[in-house]
Amino acid sequence: MENQKAGFDRNQLIGFLLIATIMVGFGWWQSANMPEVEEATGTELVEEAASAAEEVSEAVEMTVAVLDSNAFVAEEVSIENDDIKLTYSTLGAQLVRAQIKGYQTYDSAEVLLVNNNQVWDIKLPGDAALSTKEFNVVSQNGTSLMLSDGATEVKVSLEESGFMANYTVSGSASAAGKPELFWERTAYRTEKGISNERIYSTYSYKVQEDGDVENLSGRGGDDSEDVGAVNWLAQKQHFFSYIVQPEEGFASATVATVNGTDEDESIVKVFSSNATLNQSVNGAYSLPFSMYLGPNHYQTLKEQGQDYEKVINFGWGIFGWIGRGVVVPVFNWLDGYGWNYGIIILIMVLIIKGALSPLTFASYRSMAKMRVLKPQLEAINEKFGDKDAMGKQQAQMALYREAGVNPLGGCIPVLVQMPILFAMFRFFPASIELRGQSFLWATDLSTYDALISWESHIPILSTLYGNHISIFTLLMTGSTILYTRMNQSMTASTGSAEQMKQMQVIMYLMPLIFMFVLIKEFMKKTIRKFRITQNSQDFIIMLS
């Protein structure tokens, strides 16, 4: 028993030793033959995590796309001709871009009347607004487009050239009534003189009752008005207009403009209007519109035959008649020769001065007679002075009768010339033909010339005059003062010394006032409102 027990213990021990040896040896062999693994850096770990997250995100997007494969995705589609390019979105059939070809802004960018800055919403009785509808492109070629959501169709077409677009909305109305249009557009700056552009930008409209074309007032400021029944509405900027005309006009319309601020000179105005179409719908309907998106070129607008050319404001009454009936034909006639526009302006001035020469000669003749009578008039003034005004006046009138002189002979011809001069004064700033045209040192005859300009603020000078020097304005001011001085030296005084002194101050002051009036950038930054209180009434004089 003892030998068996001892042998068992020895064999068992040997077995355990063999097993341990085998395990240790296998572990060493496995460790020696295992491939090396490089330790990952922190950057690599971040990149691996980002890659994994991206894979998860893509997987989620694919899953969502599969689950919502019918989700609406808005598209943009364009039509164009030689003069304009219109781009529409399939969401609401909205016009998102309207490019006027052949024109650039003052900083050489494309002229875009619409550039994701417009809301055009038609609302039919009992139906959703047009802007909320999801359309598909049914057909399209170079100049026409048709969109449909199954119930409503929108068709747009252009001619091969020109700035007119035909726009039609059709479908079936669930209730009877007149459709309403909400139209809002932010007008972005296109011209160098932002003050002038704001002054000349406004709503224009043709009144159905009398056919007159009228404009919102306000001299370029904020304004709102219920204009009643009109044939068309025009959002007019200085040199470009967007005109909308339903086939049967508008039964009523309320229009408003809000000026841009000095802090953001990229915005000229915000136009908005609420209008009711002069057309009732009940069941199947078709709402055709004509749209003009183009330059304020007089002849181009006139060719449309809808009085669109009257959005170019040449002034009221006789000033407008002379502008359209005399100044425009003469300008177009000279323009046909292909001369530089600076030369055309000079020739126009010579033609008009020549036509008015009989009146000018009559004025000079009257002034010459008054100059001959100057010693006798001065003697009368010394004799009567200011104490006997009635006696002095009677003596002067007797002298005039004896010499056959009309004391107003020099004034009447000037008054006759004034309507023509004012018509020209209104014509040139409104003429798109002058836009971007150079002459001598001026690079753009439609705005102020700036031979010298600077960015920094110079005390007093920048405040009173602006940050540029306009040579044309200075020449006008200097020549007017010189002419005034020569004229007064040849004209006999007919009043007291104090009256003549006051008159001289006024005559010399007027050219200086006009100098600052012509520098619109100065006016808009310095003098905003001048309030006069008289008889409990406030009069706001807007000088910009």
Note the helical H segments in 247-324. 298-302, 318-322
Residue 405: predicted pLDDT: 73
3-class SS of residue 255? strand
Residue 412: predicted pLDDT: 66
Residue 5: predicted pLDDT: 43
Residue 2: predicted pLDDT: 42
Residue 36: predicted pLDDT: 47
| Residues comprising the chain, all counted | 544
- Name the CA radius of gyration of the chain, rounded: 40
Residue 476: predicted pLDDT: 77
Mention the CATH class of domain 76-312.
mainly beta
**E strands in 81-216:** 84-89, 94-104, 110-115, 118-123, 136-140, 144-148, 153-158, 164-177, 180-188, 202-207, 213-215
Tell me, yes or no, if the pTM score tops 0.75.
Answer: no
Q: Are 278 and 229 in contact (CB under 8 A)?
A: yes
Residue 529: predicted pLDDT: 36
* Domain boundaries defined on the chain: 76-312, 314-442
Structure tokens at 353: 């001065």
Give the H or E element holding residue 446: none
CA–CA separation, 502 and 504 (whole Å): 5
3-class SS of residue 295? strand
Q: Are 309 and 412 in contact (CB under 8 A)?
A: no
Cα distances from 120 to residues 182, 256, 446, in angstroms, run 6, 15, 32
Residue 133: which residues within 8 A CB-CB, separation 6 or more? 91, 92, 93, 149, 152
Other C-beta atoms closer than 10 Å to the C-beta of 358 total 10
| 457 DSSP 8-state letter | P
Cα distances from 85 to residues 12, 121, 131, 324, 492, in angstroms, run 100, 21, 21, 31, 65
Angle at 255 between CA 305 and CA 169, to 5 degrees: 60
CA–CA separation, 423 and 330 (whole Å): 13
Residue 488: predicted pLDDT: 65
Q: Are 242 and 292 in contact (CB under 8 A)?
A: yes
Residues of the chain with pLDDT under 70: 1-70, 218-221, 385-386, 388, 407-414, 460-468, 487-504, 506-508, 510-511, 513-544
Residue 101: which residues within 8 A CB-CB, separation 6 or more? 82, 83, 84, 85
pLDDT digits over 105-136, tens only? 988 899 999 999 999 999 998 888 999 999 99
Residue 489: predicted pLDDT: 63
CA–CA separation, 19 and 24 (whole Å): 9
pLDDT digits over 179-232, tens only? 999 999 999 999 887 888 888 898 999 999 888 998 887 565 678 889 999 999
